[in-house]
Amino acid sequence: MEERFLGIGELARRTGTKVQTIRYYEEIGLLPPPPRTAGNQRRYGRDHQQRLAFVRHARELGFSLEAIRTLLDLVDRPDQPCEKADAVARARLAEVESRLQRLQALKEELERMICECRGGRVAQCRVIEVLADHGHCLYADHGSPERRRTRRGGEGRWNSGGGRPSGSWAEG
């Protein structure tokens, strides 16, 4: 059976990939250059479609272009042990887990900020206050629950002299 070749526009439609992205993947070596017609048009075969589908799926899973390049090198040499592929996937999983921790810390900060807002006027708005002064946040960098700020005096409450939190922790 003769292989049917596609132009770049048809490949883009079939794979849901922009033409510019396909050209970029060729330029950086993730896709091999396709054969060209006498009129210099690219002609993509089944291997190009499969490789592009692999790259798109890996991108959807958040793999970096460099990680994808490593994985494609492994695909091109299928007799190798898969430990390197496993290591690439484990590294991505570690990135995802780290991102989840940061998102959880952000969620906690936003929930706390919203709960502490009394719905009064902007002059006393806890949301505005926290956004204006990072010192009011639970986390020093919002990226790591391990970097939680410590409260002076252990369990504390916001010192709210004059109706507006001053931002300092008051003991018990």
Q: Using the structure block, give the residue that is written with the tokens 């902007």.
A: 122
13 is a domain residue: yes
Residue 148 DSSP code = B
86 is a domain residue: no
* 160 or 92, higher pLDDT: 92
Angle between helices 19-27 and 46-60 (to 10 degrees): 100
- Reported as a single tens digit per residue, the pLDDT across 116-163 is 887 788 887 888 888 888 887 877 776 555 555 554 333 333 333 334
Q: Domains in the chain: how many in total? A: 2
Distances (CA, A) of 49 to 23, 41, 152: 13, 16, 60
Enter the pTM of the model.
0.70
Average pLDDT over the chain, rounded to an integer = 83
- What domain range includes position 60? 8-80
Same domain for 110 and 76 = no
38 is a domain residue: yes
Give, for 97, the enclosing helix (H) or strand (E). helix 83-116
* 168 or 137, higher pLDDT: 137
- Reported as a single tens digit per residue, the pLDDT across 9-40 is 999 999 999 999 999 999 999 999 999 999 99
Same domain for 63 and 13 = yes
Alpha carbon distance 162, 117 (integer Å): 16
pLDDT at residue 157, rounded to an integer: 37
